[in-house]
Amino acid sequence: MVDILFLGTGGGRFNLVRQLRGTGGFMLMGRHLNIHVDPGPGALLRLLQANRDPTKTDAIIVTHMHIDHVSDAPALVEAMSGFTFKHAGLLIAAASVLDGDKHGDKSISKYHQMLVKECAHFGPADKKTFEISRQPKSGSAPSSPANSFTLSGVPVKHDDKSGFGFVIEMDGVKIGYTSDTEYIPAIHNAAYAGVDVLIANNLKSAADGIPDHLHSGHLIQLLKAAKPKLCILSHMGMGLIQSGPEAEAARIESASGVKTIAGRDGYYYCTDRCGWFRPQKEKKGKGGQEEKAQSKLGE
Ligand SMILES: [Zn+2]
């Protein structure tokens, strides 16, 4: 079982500045590991607002160097490394992020790269199983259980040539993430075939002549061919946000035959059986214990 917490389902330069929808990426939460993907502006704040502890982050994946995917990564590295007091955590990122783009600009400084325990370059042709040894809890036995996940890169057609989409396998669940890309049928149809969940960065409802991003017309083609069990729309641009993401998801589902839902900021999707939910505010239980309630909103 993996819970996916959406910290930002908005995309595009207009939404980035207006913040109609957040741009904090999403967190994959497995049995033991918390993996933050593409932490753009507001990721840290959104995480705190969701009552999550940023220091409990085990890995950060940055798929490319654009600001709406990486700007909060250094702050989260500081959280992941125990307020910078230890070398901890795994940072996986595109070469442009770690080494610099065509202008030499690094999205994550060398200082922050050196704070983590492991810093891994990753690209669209890579496939690797990562293993993370967790720190034993204080007072427990010194042995620390290892947890692993496998990441398979998927090529993108986007401004950042070193960027990548991916399929991640963790806790028996396969989750695909397109990242920012134009549709490449010959590659994407096979790469995302049969995944349990496909998170699609679907910027627009229709083509408008601006390249480098998915729109609903191409997403429908991808879903028809790849047949994921579920598609979740994210990284939606201002036009799509204002015209109604739920209606767009219904239209895509009807045309593709694949169950499709629109991502929502601050909501979780649980891959097991609880579906789509948002935790309610913590309240006092009978015994004075804090307890968390969840509001299930249906799948
Ligand atoms: Zn981008």
User: What's the pLDDT tens digit per position in 138-187?
Assistant: 555 555 556 899 999 999 999 999 999 999 999 999 999 999 999 999 99
- The answer to whether residue 293 sits within a structural domain is no
User: Is 288 inside any structural domain?
Assistant: no
Q: How far is the CA of 158 from the centre of ligand 1 (A)?
A: 7
Instruction: State the distance from the centre of ligand 1 to the C-alpha of 99, rounded, in angstroms.
Output: 17
Residue type, position 6, single letter: F
Lowest mean pLDDT among 69-73, 132-136, 208-212, 293-297: 293-297
Domain assignment present for 50: yes
Residue 269 domain flag? yes
Count of the separate structural domains present in the chain: 1
Report, as an integer, the average pLDDT of 52-66: 97
At 2-43, the pLDDT tens digits run: 999 999 999 999 999 999 999 999 999 998 899 999 999 999
pLDDT at 274: 62
Give yes or no for residue 50 having a pLDDT over 50.
yes
Instruction: For residue 49, give the CATH number of its domain.
Output: 3.60.15.10
Domain-embedded: residue 290: no
pLDDT for position 211: 85
Structural domain span for residue 257: 3-132+147-283
Percent of the chain predicted with pLDDT > 70 = 87
- Comparing C-alpha atoms, which of 244, 92, 256, 101 is closest to residue 177? 92
- Rounded distance from Cα 98 to ligand 1 centre (Å): 16
In a domain, 274, yes or no: yes
Asked if the model's pLDDT at residue 234 lies above 60, the reply is yes
Ligand 1 centroid from CA 196, angstroms: 24
Query: Is 289 contained in some domain?
Result: no
- The answer to whether residue 273 sits within a structural domain is yes
Count the Cβ atoms, other than its own, within 10 Å of residue 60.
29
Rounded CA separation 260/294 (Å): 22
Please give the pLDDT value at position 283: 44
Q: How many A from CA of 3 to the centre of ligand 1?
A: 24
Q: Is the pLDDT reported for residue 134 higher than 50?
A: yes
The structure's pTM equals: 0.90
CB 162 within 8 A of CB 70: no
pLDDT, greater one: 140 or 220: 220
What is the percent of the chain where pLDDT is above 90? 80
At 282 the pLDDT is 44
Q: What separation in Å is there between the alpha carbon of 61 and the centre of ligand 1?
A: 14
Query: Is residue 62 within 8 Å of residue 107, measured between CB atoms?
Result: yes
